[in-house]
Amino acid sequence: MVEMAIPDTPRSSTHGEEIRTARTRRYLMCRPEHFAVTYEINPWMDASRPVDTGLAIAQWEHLRRTHLDLGHTVDLLDPLPGLPDMVFAANGALVIDGHALGVRFRHAERAPEAGPYAAWLRAQGIEVTDAVAVNEGEGDFLVVGDLLLAGTGFRSDRAAHAEAQELFGVPVVSLSLVDPRFYHLDTALAVLDDRTVAWWPPAFSPGSRGALRRLFPDGIEATEADALAFGLNAVSDGRHVVVAAAAHDLISALSARGFVPVPVDLSELLRGGGGAKCCTLELRPEAVGS
């Protein structure tokens, strides 16, 4: 594994007259000690191919260290045997203003993950509301500015969008996913700052594409190669973007727009259908838009 150095640059950068400013975040992650592909619930999974768990752990550890080197806090949830996808922490909840909407997984194989994530959050003093409709946390809920983008089509139910709006009091924009390779919203769209996203339009229905172009006319439209490299499964602090190293065009586009790409290689975890964002759940103590 080739480790990329964090760029030694100021905390702010500019794109035209825009200032890209990093904001310190708090994340929850789960070490992939038990990572394996023992079932197939998305097109990326092939249970017939052995997984190199040691490589997955090394790549994940580099991601954790990258978050820490960027100044963020990383909390850890203990992994449990028999739950190989616990590493994909983003699916564990949606946390806003110190409150959390718990999850209800679509597939039975992942259902037991919901309890450990909810228990950890409650132990931190975070109030957790149990989900009624199927939702898979930040896999299908992405906060951008004072909006909540919500995906549906393969995993989360549209009814979960209404649940989130009622719980958090945040306007929710429902988006329909149409390509099974991009089964969660966070595989097809990355939030870069409070006004900017990067996305791959063919992953969305025509109406959802139109809505996104109206909401984010200055958004970065990724290439198919970027999307297939899971480049859009990225983590941004408003300035630094932790992004798949293989997403070459996206990395160039981010740099051209004043962001600072921080490439990471999570190729072994991609075999389970996950990348940097999938492994990173943001714990937001503040209200959306604050």
Structure tokens at 198: 């990067």
**At 101, which helix (H) or strand (E)?**
strand 99-101
Alpha-carbon distance of 154 to 102, in angstroms, equals: 18
List Cα–Cα distances, 136 to 8, 15, 225, 268, 270, in angstroms. 36, 34, 25, 22, 18
Alpha-carbon distance of 288 to 173, in angstroms, equals: 14
Tokens 């997403």 sit on residue: 247
The percent helix, strand, coil of the chain (3-state, each to 5) is 30, 25, 45
Alpha-carbon distance of 142 to 148, in angstroms, equals: 6
Structure tokens at 213: 């172009």
Q: Which of 88, 94, 90 is nearest to 109 (CA)?
A: 88
Q: Is 184 assigned a catalytic role?
A: yes
- Label the pairing between strands 240-244 and 73-76: unpaired
Active-site residue, selected from the candidate residues 72, 161, 240, 278: 278
Q: Is 99 assigned a catalytic role?
A: no
- Cβ-contact 210, 174 below 8 angstroms: no
Active-site residue, selected from the candidate residues 184, 240, 248, 279: 184
Q: What residues are labeled active site?
A: 184, 278
